[in-house]
A and B are shown apart, each in its own frame.
Chain A
Amino acid sequence: MSAGKILVVDDEAHITHVLALKLRNAGFTVRTASDGEEAFELASQDPPDVLITDLQMPYMTGLELCIKLKKKPATAQIPALMLTARGHALGESDLQSTNIRMVLSKPFSPRHVLEEVERILGRGGAAGSGDGGGAGTEKEAA
């Protein structure tokens, strides 16, 4: 049985590939998209339990994707985990108009991403939590 449905969005195929493998190994059902538009289509068809998205992407940025998803009733509740190489590019108002629960800066640790996904889904205290996972600066979303 699947631990949950995750949608991973990044224009770097290596990143979606590695995250998908990490999450599948942990029992999740994972779909991937390479830009915001594609992700919006997938999320609208079958809303995931958690969205993991990059910030800078062609066509539609991760932030635009999250804002658009929050405006649509069917997808308004999807919690999001943002991965970005520019950790401080998001302001409070950006976070308030989205469901972004956590911002992790690149380079990130797949281990850490898995922990955060489990925490968002209310399965906190997963094994290995607290080791920091080698991720860079992070920002707890309000």
Chain B
Amino acid sequence: MAMGSGIIANGVVCAAAAAGAAACAWLSLGALSAWSEGARLGVIGAGAFAGAAAALGALMSVRVGAEKRLIARLREAAGEIDPLSFPASLRSVAVAARDARRAWGAREAELAARLREAEVRANISEADRQHGEAILNTLRDAVIVTDSFNEVTLANAPAARLLGFDLDGAAHKPVDEVVRDEELRRMIEDVRRSGVVSKTKHAEHTLSPPQGGSASFDVTIAALPGAKEEVGGVVTILRDVTREKEISQMKSDFVSQASHELRTPISSINAYVEMLLDAETQDEAQRQEFYGVIKGEAERLSRMIDNMLNISRIEAGIVSVDRVEVDFAKLIRGVIETMAPQAKAKQIMLVEKIGPLIYTAESDRDMMHQVVMNLVSNAIKYTPEGGRVTVAVENDDASRSVLVSVSDTGLGIPPDALPRLFEKFFRIENYKRVAKGTGLGLNLVKHIVETVHRGQIGVTSQVGMGSRFWFTVPFEFQGG
């Protein structure tokens, strides 16, 4: 196109001179023939232009305007030539000029049409480019496009954030200067060098974003076709799969842990039933003992399953919550009454510390009962004989919540175990023989308080001195 435009411009200079003086008509004719050549090349140029329009964008629309004006001036300059008005010696030249004028008249129309088309295409192309860029920037995946020279031609904001480069300054920079991760650069290079247009590479790759930490990415690198059959560029897409991987790991850990935990009571049930079947018991008293073990272990199994289901229902957000004004003073007295025989068996003093006020919060009564029951039951389990368990309630006006606490004079919790205390299946190894448990009770309690009721839960403890578990429930439930 550049060459065609140059020739047209040259023709215009001469044509303008021809318009000024009839004596220079031959010059004008020379100009016409030059223009005619220019027009031919111009058309070719327009053809090539249509192909390259996408790249030329805004610049093109300026040129198209200029060329239109040139054509108008040419038409004016050449005019309609009458060979008879020329001296006989120049008549044949004049005829040639007239014919040439007529010939390019047709071409002019064609050229103008093509230029109009090119202009439209250029505008569409520019709009498409902006549209594409906008789409690219709405993606959460990081995208980088490189050309056959391994230079960046396109990238989006997530790519800039992830790989730590300046988005505006990245265009036409070698990818090696933009992407610091060596492994990723190697993958891009492999696909580019493969020379296979249909080549798409999938890989999982760990990156350390400039913001710190490390994240897992699902990387797709595809070769883009060039003008011929060669690889014209490479598009690299990075999808952050860190969260998916974590969830999948958590799920498989849960399944593996759950099956392990469920097998323990099943083991006992299985072994004791077999002993009864094989008549290995000596007397009725021993048989009764075995029945008791089987029943106890079956109940433990059932509790574990209930807890697991309740936790997963809450996690999945499908638990039905019946929010009513719960009187916590009454609820605590109920729990203490239920747990009194257990406390008495261990000579543990189970005391309430309830003030004269009203302690109510909008919550699910059964769930809150389970929370307080679990905490009191744990306190009794891990407090040696002769100890003391105190259940207190107060109104925390600052957080507009009811604050319930269960304190004991028990074993206490080692500091390294505190952060993991509310995790599923977490049990303090050395306390396993102190009491049986599912390892799910505190996780369920935390879910009920935090997930379902938007309250808070915490614990303070000192080994050998005791523990204090507390939780809050907002007076009024906030949120959906």
Contacts and interface: CB of A to CB of B under 8 A. Distances in A.
A12 interface: yes
Nearest to B260: A85
Contacts of B281: 21
A107 B267 contact: yes
Interface in A42-61: 58-59
B429 A107 contact: no
Contact of A25 (B271, B280, B432): B280
Given A14-B297, A22-B275, A107 B266 contact: yes
Interface in B412-453: 429-430, 432-433
A86 interface: yes
Interface in A119-134: 134
B432 A58 contact: yes
B268 A14 contact: yes
Contacts, number: 64
Interface in A1-31: 11-15, 18-19, 21-22, 25
Contacts of A85: 259-260, 263-264, 267
A4 to B, nearest CB: 18
A106 B293 CA distance: 17
Interface string B378-416: 000000000000000000000000000000000000000
Interface of A: 11-15, 18-19, 21-22, 25, 34-35, 58-59, 85-86, 106-111, 134
A15 B272 CA distance: 9
A15 B275 CA distance: 12
B272 A18 contact: yes
A106 B266 CA distance: 8
B20 to A, nearest CB: 99
Nearest to B262: A85
B19 to A, nearest CB: 96
What are the 10 tightest A-B residue pairs by CB atom distance, in nearest-first order?
A58-B429, A107-B270, A107-B267, A106-B267, A14-B268, A85-B263, A18-B271, A85-B260, A107-B266, A106-B263
B429 A12 contact: no
B204 to A, nearest CB: 25
A15 B271 contact: yes
Interface size class of B (residues with CB under 8 A): 20 to 34
A108 B270 contact: yes
Interface of B: 259-260, 263-264, 266-272, 274-275, 278, 280-281, 293, 297, 429-430, 432-433
A62 B294 CA distance: 25
A111 B432 CA distance: 27
A14 B296 CA distance: 11
Given A85-B263, A110-B274, A15 B432 contact: no
A58 B267 CA distance: 19
A18 B275 contact: yes
A107 B430 contact: no
A107 B260 CA distance: 10
B127 to A, nearest CB: 60
Contact of A86 (B260, B267, B272, B297): B260
Contact of A106 (B264, B272, B297, B432): B264
Contacts of B430: 58-59
Contact of B275 (A11, A21, A86): A21
Nearest to B269: A107
Nearest to B427: A58
B270 A109 contact: yes
A81 to B, nearest CB: 15
B268 A18 contact: yes
Given A107-B270, A107-B271, A58 B280 contact: no
Given A14-B297, A25-B280, A34-B433, A107 B275 contact: no
23 contacts: A12-B268, A13-B433, A14-B272, A15-B268, A18-B272, A19-B271, A21-B280, A22-B275, A22-B280, A25-B280, A35-B433, A85-B260, A85-B267, A106-B264, A107-B263, A107-B269, A107-B271, A108-B270, A109-B274, A110-B280, A111-B274, A111-B278, A134-B274
Contacts of A58: 429-430, 432-433
B1 to A, nearest CB: 70
A85 B351 CA distance: 41
Nearest to B263: A85
A58 B268 CA distance: 19
A111 B272 CA distance: 11
Nearest to A83: B267
Interface centre among A19, A59, A111 (most CB of B within 10 A): A111
A106 B270 CA distance: 10
Contacts of B274: 109-111, 134
Contacts of A35: 433
A108 B263 CA distance: 10
Given A34-B433, A58-B429, A58-B433, A109 B271 contact: yes
Nearest to B297: A14
B432 A134 contact: no
B387 to A, nearest CB: 22
Contact of A15 (B260, B267, B429): B267
Given A14-B293, A85-B263, A110 B268 contact: no
A109 B275 CA distance: 9
Nearest to B271: A18
Nearest to A35: B433
B297 A11 contact: no
Contacts of B263: 85, 106-107
